[in-house]
Homo-oligomer: A and B are copies of this chain.
Amino acid sequence: MTAKSMTRAAFFVLTALADQPRHGYGILREVEELSDGEVLLRVGTLYGVLDRLTADGLIVLDREEVQQGRLRRYYRLTDDGVATLDAEAERMAAGAGAAKRRIAEGRAAHPAPRTSPGHVPPAAPGLAGGHA
């Protein structure tokens, strides 16, 4: 969008890896859990994201294990990955805050509640002052 701005899928993969290394399938389940079931990463999405993040140096292959005959390929965040995720989280929080603030400003503009027709109250004096 702007300079680089990561995709949603990439954000959630990084978030899933933020506390500890995980393997592909584990990331899928972890993303679902940490988002309260709202975000369901698809298998077809995962490996493309993993490749791109690796190419960008945000994650690295941590180790490979063979657990009961099944291969597990564990990835972990690099320092750069942590910093990038942190910055993105900051941006998202700022964006969410801006949206919330503006919704409130918009509600102040037009008579939303419509409790009783007569006089309108002084339209909320100082609120939302700064707005960044």
Point out the residue from B5, B77, B105 that lies within 8 Å of A19, measured CB to CB.
B105
How large, as a class, is the contact surface on chain A? 35 or more
Quick check: is A132 within 8 A (CB to CB) of the other chain?
A: yes
Interchain nearest-CB distance for A124 vs B (Å): 13
Chain B residues near A102 (CB-CB < 8 A): 15, 18-19, 34
In the complex, what distance in Å separates the CA atom of A44 from the CA atom of B109? Answer: 31
Q: How far is the CA of A11 from the CA of B15 in the complex (A)?
A: 21
**Sampled A-B contacts (28; CB under 8 Å):** A1-B39, A2-B38, A2-B39, A11-B99, A12-B95, A14-B99, A15-B95, A15-B102, A18-B102, A18-B103, A18-B105, A18-B106, A19-B103, A19-B105, A19-B109, A34-B132, A35-B94, A38-B91, A77-B106, A82-B103, A82-B106, A86-B100, A89-B96, A89-B97, A90-B96, A92-B95, A93-B93, A93-B96
List the interface of chain A (C-beta within 8 A of B). 1-3, 5, 8-9, 11-12, 14-15, 18-20, 34-36, 38-41, 77, 82, 85-86, 88-100, 102-103, 105-106, 109, 131-132
